[in-house]
Amino acid sequence: MTTPILEIEDLSISFFTRAGEIPAVMDFSCTIMPGEAMGLVGESGCGKSTVALAVMRYLGGNGRITKGRIRFKGRDMAEMSPKELRRLRGADIAMIYQEPMASLNPAMTVGKQLMEVPMLHAGIGADAARQAARDIVAAVRLPDPERILRAYPHQLSGGQQQRIVIAMALMSKPSLLILDEPTTALDVTVEAGIVDLIKELGARYGTSILFISHNLGLVLETCDRICVMYSGEAVETGSVADVFSRMRHPYTQALFRSIPLPGADKNARPLIAIPGNFPLPHERPPGCNFGPRCNHFVAGRCDAQEIDMAAVPGDDRHASRCLRVAEIDWQAPPPRGAAAESVKVGAPVLRVDNLKKYYGVSGSILGPALARPVKANEAVSFEAREAEIVAIVGESGCGKSTLAKILIGLETATDGGARLKDQEIGRKPIQERDAKTVSSIQMIFQNPFDTLNPSVSVGGQILRALEIFGVGKSQAERQSRMLELLDLVRLPRAFAERMPRQLSGGQKQRVGIARAFAGTPQVVVADEPVSALDVSVQAAVTELLMDIQRKSRTTMLFISHDLSVVRYLSDRVIVMYLGHIVEQGRTEDIFSPPYHPYTEALLSAVPVADASVRKKRIVLEGDIPSPINPPSGCPFQTRCHRKRFVPGNLCETVVPPEVEFAEGHFIKCHLSRDQLAAVEPVFTRNTTPAA
């Protein structure tokens, strides 16, 4: 039998602080065989990064391994001297972090940084090292390796930087590569390229991979085996196929039910949120950590003793930390929530007409302003009806945030306009709007940790919004309205006295929602309201938001890059690229052919956590062009995979017209109707239905 690359046995890690010992990881075991890719999945705070750092023996001053063993190629790492460990790190084990810019030295050229690795670990000369660096840059599929080697990190885009970090990790041909959320900071289409690269390189060099992520879909695409962690413990481990189709732990099952998979429907099959909150390390319940949130919890058994991992019979190395594996009917359909009726949309509330936003690049004392402005929005037109959820989808730099800012009044349009009911708002900054207009178009922000003023109590912040919107005649009236709003977002009334730091991320986001709905708005702009939250909390907040929206018949503009959520909740979708709307239409039109080539690529780039869905793979070349210097003609022409089907140089010269395919379904592309209609769908279901 071959020796495993990495063998972790009963590992326990604690952090020692002034408050005492905080156990971060308990009783964790896993084995990675040569060439195998292991996915480590869990929510933030579950200990997955701590495991990775323990493998590198890099736990900081107050972290200590209290129990267990880590063997690398059969050798116990605890017995290695610091010198041996140093040789191991970077040479045999390499690690890649989330933020590429933080891993690169901004003062050194990329070439120098890459050359350092073999010169240090293999002791080869500068010329050979340079040659090796050039080869590896070509291997991570970066164009023009010579130029890249001479560049400084800040001269590269985020995706290119991450490729360089991967190249650096691969320079010394490590036997184990640890990736800690390597694509979280990147856009979806760029992410797809990186994921492809990791898979291919893993296969080519035979490197074993430990892939840490919170995204189940990504793990499905990259890994052979998966280990699900919850609150410091591994709860289920097995091959990806087994765990995805025959999950045997209630947490894994709940996790899958709380993410929007293709087929979920906001009316007929709503998401099922996991009740309660993630336990803090010092507040873990006795027995099963997941017990208090579990549907299958049996008092007196699940909380009676510590629960060990037990093999699931019939599967290869599939184990679960659940006492009741044999008792639970895993095929049983989830308890149905009350299916809501679909909402009838009303008259148009918001009408955006030919809206343009150009930023003049301001000049400095040394030089005049550039003649060319940054075109953030280019002739954007759409309308949103009452009680409708319109999703705006696109990657960073596509102009979706600028559009939101104009609607809210933080920016004004350069040309064209936007009307709320019969009032012009596109050219009216917020200072010139009256309280009623301000309160009728409100915003929910992305980052829950930043959206509340840390110095003001929760109640105080909602009260202030009510005051400013002129709701209620007296302070007492507003006070009671504030408590009603807390009820509305399902927070206990006692939270009014709390300070934001005492709230979890999901709770903070609920306060943000309450604040946005304080003045009974007609339109709410939600800027990625759940993307910063943990998976199990996301579902609860999404459901809450939709529930309020449905009851109050508010129009919602849902800005997102997560197409799974968009497909689940929106009525209509607008796809933006470089300031242009490239496609818009009803959700079902967007998610089935004909597609705009960009929509097609975007759809195929989104990781889907469903083993039964087969996906067409389109990986776009290169990065999103800068809006300072947009390509001529069609904005997407530099990366388009279907450009070759368009005769002549039409794509480079002419901005394509909007063509209507179905009612309200517009595509901005030079391809003919038949060509677009002939494209096969991105998602197809496997013929063998999975559990």
Partner 1 sequence: MGALEIAGRILLQFWPVWLGLAAIFALSFRFKTCLGLYGRLMDSGIGKVGLFIVLFWLLTAILADLVITISPLDQIAGMKNAAPGTVVPGVEGQYYLLGGDNLARDVFSRMVMGSRTVLAIAPAATLFAFMIAFTLGLPAGYFGGRFDTVLSFIANLVLAFPVILLFYLLVTPEIRASGIPVMAAAVLFLFPIIFAALLLWSRFKTQPAKLALYLAITLVLGVWAYSGLAFNADPLGVFSMDPNLLNIFVSVVFVNAPAVFRIIRGLTIDIRTRDYVAAAQTRGETPWYIMLWEILPNARGPLIVDFSLRIGYTTILLGTLGFFGLGVSPESPDWGMTINEGRKQLSIHPHPALPPALALMSLVLGLNLLADGLREQALKD
Among the residue ranges 112-120, 227-235, 445-453, 555-563, the one whose residues contact partner 1 (CB under 8 A): 445-453
Query: Which residue lies nearer to partner 1 by CB, 256 or 469?
Result: 469
The residue among 281 and 472 lying less far from partner 1, judged by its C-beta, is 472
The piece of 162-170, 213-221, 227-235, 465-473 that touches partner 1 (CB under 8 A) is 465-473
- Residue 26 touches partner 1, criterion: CB under 8 A: no
Q: Is 451 one of the binding residues for partner 1 (CB under 8 A)?
A: yes
Asked if 133 interacts with partner 1 (CB under 8 A), we say no
Span of 139-147, 181-189, 440-448, 623-631 interacting with partner 1 by CB under 8 A: 440-448
- 106/454 with CB nearer partner 1: 454
Interaction with partner 1 in 468-487: which residues (CB under 8 A)?
468-470, 475
Residue of 565, 578, 495 lying closest to 535 (CA atoms): 565
In the complex, the smallest distance separating the C-beta of residue 374 from partner 1, rounded to whole angstroms, is: 19
Interface segment toward partner 1; rule CB under 8 A; list 238-246, 270-278, 429-437, 480-488:
429-437
* Residue 454 makes contact with partner 1 by CB under 8 A: yes
- Binding residue for partner 1 (CB under 8 A) from 340, 410, 628, 662? 410
Report, in Å, the least distance between residue 135 CB and partner 1. Answer: 42
Q: Residues 443, 482, 563, 582: which binds partner 1 (CB under 8 A)?
A: 443
Out of 192, 355, 465, 581, the residue judged to bind partner 1 by CB under 8 A: 465
Q: Where are the alpha helices (DSSP H) in 344-457?
A: 400-408, 435-440
Does the protein bind partner 1 through residue 114 (CB under 8 A)? no
Residue 452 binding partner 1, by CB under 8 A: yes
> Closer CB to partner 1, residue 203 or residue 410?
410
**Contacts with 512 (C-beta within 8 Å, 6 or more apart), sequence order:** 444, 445, 448, 451, 452, 529
Contact 589, 663 (CB under 8 A): no
Q: Does 587 bind partner 1 (CB under 8 A)?
A: no
Nearer Cβ to partner 1 (326/410):
410
Q: Give, in order, the Cα–Cα distances in Å from 316 to each of 212, 241, 303, 685.
A: 22, 10, 28, 25
CA diameter of the chain: 79
Contact at 8 Å (CB) between 152 and 128? no
CB atoms within 10 A of CB 30: 21
Min dist. Cβ of residue 396 to partner 1 (A):
17
Q: How many CB atoms lie within 10 A of CB 78?
A: 11
Counting contacts by CB under 8 A, is residue 447 touching partner 1?
Answer: yes
Q: What phi and psi values does residue 380 have, to the nearest 5 degrees?
A: -90, 125
Binding status of residue 442 toward partner 1 by CB under 8 A: yes
**Of 600, 604, 627, whose CA–CA distance to 615 is shortest?**
604
Segment contacting partner 1 by CB under 8 A, of 190-198, 434-442, 565-573, 633-641: 434-442
The order of strands in the sheet holding 233-239 is 93-96, 176-180, 208-213, 37-41, 225-230, 233-239, 319-320, 310-311
Interacting residue with partner 1 among 311, 369, 435, 678 (CB under 8 A): 435
Nearest to 525 by CA among 433, 428, 342, 403: 403
Structure tokens that stand for 182 in this block: 């390597």
Q: Is 510 in the site for partner 1 (CB under 8 A)?
A: no
Nearer to partner 1, 154 or 473 (CB): 473
Alpha carbon of 647 to those of 520, 574, 598, 643, 680: distances in Å? 52, 27, 19, 9, 21
430 in contact with partner 1 (CB under 8 A)? yes
Q: Which residues contact 374 (CB under 8 A, 6 or more apart)?
A: 358, 359, 360, 361, 627, 628
- Binding segment toward partner 1, per CB under 8 A, in 254-262, 378-386, 417-425, 450-458: 450-458
Instruction: Give me 355's structure tokens.
Output: 């809206």
Q: 3-class SS at 240?
A: helix
Among 111, 512, 627, 656, binds partner 1 (CB under 8 A): 512
Count the neighbouring beta carbons within 10 Å of the beta carbon of residue 104: 20
What is the per-residue DSSP string for 110-135?
A: HHHHHHHHHHHHT---HHHHHHHHHH
Q: Contact residues for partner 1 (CB under 8 A)? A: 408-410, 430-431, 433, 435, 438-439, 442-443, 445-447, 450-456, 464-465, 467-470, 475, 501, 512, 515
